[in-house]
Structure 1
Amino acid sequence: METILKTILEEKEKEVFRLKESFSKESHKRTVPVRSFYDRCKEAKDMQVIAEFKRSSPSKGEINHSIEPGKQAKIYADAGASMISVLTDKPFFQGEMADLVAVREAVSLPILNKDFIIDPVQIDRAYVYGADVILLIMAALSDEKLKSLNEYAEGLGLEVLVEVHNEEELQRAQVIKPKLIGINNRNLKTFEVTVETTERLAGKVDTAEQVLISESGMSSVEEVKRAWHAGARAILVGETLMKAKNVKETIQSFKQGADSDAC
């Protein structure tokens, strides 16, 4: 996976170069207000579900190419999702910014632009296309780059989800005190996915001020309960929902599966 990440970032550098040639924030205008996912989580009493639209991935291959993003987002919203995550990387995940636009037009929920962000121009694009939250991946960024991109996004009024995979990345991330901390349960070296990662790292997150989000591997109510008891107040669910026969039943079971008195 580290090799895959390196390959993705090399491709992303090329994409950023092309984007700077073709995109200008000044030629676009954001037409919707920025919606806060952080506030939503702090006010909620149950597990918040970030439902992801994802066509494929390097590890899983094709997941579901037949679903339309706007239609799926509406299903997610009606089922009780709290935010929609849209994977917009084209070469490796078969996503595109048009997916985010379709989702924005379909729902009024906060939207996470899930991509490998390494430059402010990508944040500009996410902003004008209607994203409310951007993802910054610690494994892809230096400390200096994390700080500058975080400040740039917050300057536009966007929220930032900082994703970590291990103790070292979490320690680095905490320097900027992000409001949204995502613990990815997928091991970048082995592909193994286990909620134990969330359980192991959660104690180093200030859950009184920060919202802990458990990412990857959420396929059962039992896993959701474990994440909740560890301190997670939101989960990011992609493949499980993209393949679910009954999306509403799955989302509702995840939301209600966590004991609200376990805070």
Structure 2
Amino acid sequence: MTILDKIIAQKKIEVENLLANKTTFPDRELTRPSLYTTLRKAKQLQVISEMKRASPSKGLIAEGANPVKQATAYYEAGAACISVLTDQEFFKGSFEDLAAVAEAVPIALLCKDFMIHEIQIDQAKSAGASVILLIVAALDDRTLGRLYTYANRQGLDVLVEVHNVEELQRALAIDAKIIGVNNRDLHTFEVDLTQTELIAQHFPFDEERVFISESGIWDAADAERAANAGASAVLVGESLMRSDSVKDALQSLQVAKPGLRS
């Protein structure tokens, strides 16, 4: 089994437990700015900053990190959105982290988890998320389309994550507006920014869609590379979690988009 297979197997157990217990989550009114609109309007590369304690590939990254302290630092440094990992088993996150961050910052908030059922979307929104993640590699076409439609009807933005051109075509088939390229292979967990550049060659930039580069962004040179490929934003976790100065690290990634540089 790959790491992704193991994660999805665990998600199925979690969803089954929620359904068996007839768990319900109170609806929550959305009051956050749209991530899609923010990224469409921005003249600089934007940063989606991630609260991340651990990962299957790197192990512990920032054990005991305080989500409110981290999110506040991201917000004050100018992040466009904060991503909170809510998976407990593999990433040491929680929905309590998400809810705490939701109370602390007013910007777009991404629930970073492995969504396979509508009840997870309800849980994310109830905890304060304004954006959810759908990973094409983890879903068949029917489930991908169903969850995308459901999230949209809840007023949520959806970051649809792809890893190759075939998955990009599947994302476009459901008319995804925010598409992220994960530079980390979810089967081997190796990272290569070339993935962003390769998929950008097939991305319909002439349509009103947003292109995001995820994983493997460490410095301004990486940010420039993503921006030159056409990215409107980068999703950054580990490098910011390990940084001595969140402000300096984050702002170094906010490079101008091509065509807008002086």
Q: TM-score range by the shorter chain?
A: over 0.9
The SS at the match of 2:201 is helix
Q: Which position in structure 2 is the counterpart of 1:121?
A: 119
CA distance in 1, matches of 2:113, 2:33: 19
Q: Which position in structure 2 is the counterpart of 1:13?
A: 12
Give the conservation status (yes or no) of the 8 Å contact 1:84–1:112.
yes
The aligned amino acid for 1:165 is: H
Q: Which position in structure 2 is the counterpart of 1:210?
A: 209
1:30-68 deviations in Å (ceiling 9; x for gaps):
154243000001111001100000110000000001321
The SS at the match of 1:5 is helix
1:67 matched to 2:54? The reply is no
The SS at the match of 1:134 is strand
Q: 1:42 to 1:7 in 2, by over 3 A?
A: same
Q: Which position in structure 2 is the counterpart of 1:252?
A: 251
Give the conservation status (yes or no) of the 8 Å contact 1:112–1:133.
yes
Q: Which position in structure 2 is the counterpart of 1:240?
A: 239
Structure 1 stretches lacking a partner, 5+ long: none
Moved more, 93-102 or 29-38: 29-38
1:184 matched to 2:217? The reply is no
CA distance in 1, matches of 2:245, 2:165: 36
Give the conservation status (yes or no) of the 8 Å contact 2:3–2:187.
no
Q: Which position in structure 1 is the counterpart of 2:24?
A: 24
Give the conservation status (yes or no) of the 8 Å contact 1:215–1:236.
yes
The aligned amino acid for 2:120 is: Q
Supply the RMSD in Å over aligned alpha carbons.
1.4
The SS at the match of 1:91 is coil
CA distance in 1, matches of 2:133, 2:188: 22
How far has the Cα of 1:203 moved from its partner? 2.2
Give the conservation status (yes or no) of the 8 Å contact 1:113–1:135.
yes
Q: Which position in structure 2 is the counterpart of 1:137?
A: 135
How far has the Cα of 1:168 moved from its partner? 1.3
Q: Which of these residues, 157, 164, 167, is aligned with residue 166 of structure 1? A: 164
Give the conservation status (yes or no) of the 8 Å contact 1:34–1:158.
no
The aligned amino acid for 2:200 is: A
CA distance in 1, matches of 2:16, 2:254: 41
Q: Which position in structure 1 is the counterpart of 2:196?
A: 198
The aligned amino acid for 1:134 is: I
Moved more, 149-158 or 164-173: 164-173
CA distance in 2, matches of 1:157, 1:88: 20
The SS at the match of 1:255 is coil
The SS at the match of 2:43 is coil
1:216-237 deviations in Å (ceiling 9; x for gaps):
0000211111110110010000
The aligned amino acid for 1:103 is: V
Identity rate, percent? 49
Give the conservation status (yes or no) of the 8 Å contact 1:88–1:99.
yes
Give the conservation status (yes or no) of the 8 Å contact 2:77–2:246.
yes
1:146-196 deviations in Å (ceiling 9; x for gaps):
000000000110011100011111111110121100000012343321111
How far has the Cα of 1:206 moved from its partner? 2.0
Q: Which position in structure 2 is the counterpart of 1:89?
A: 87
The aligned amino acid for 1:182 is: G
The SS at the match of 1:64 is coil
CA distance in 2, matches of 1:138, 1:175: 11
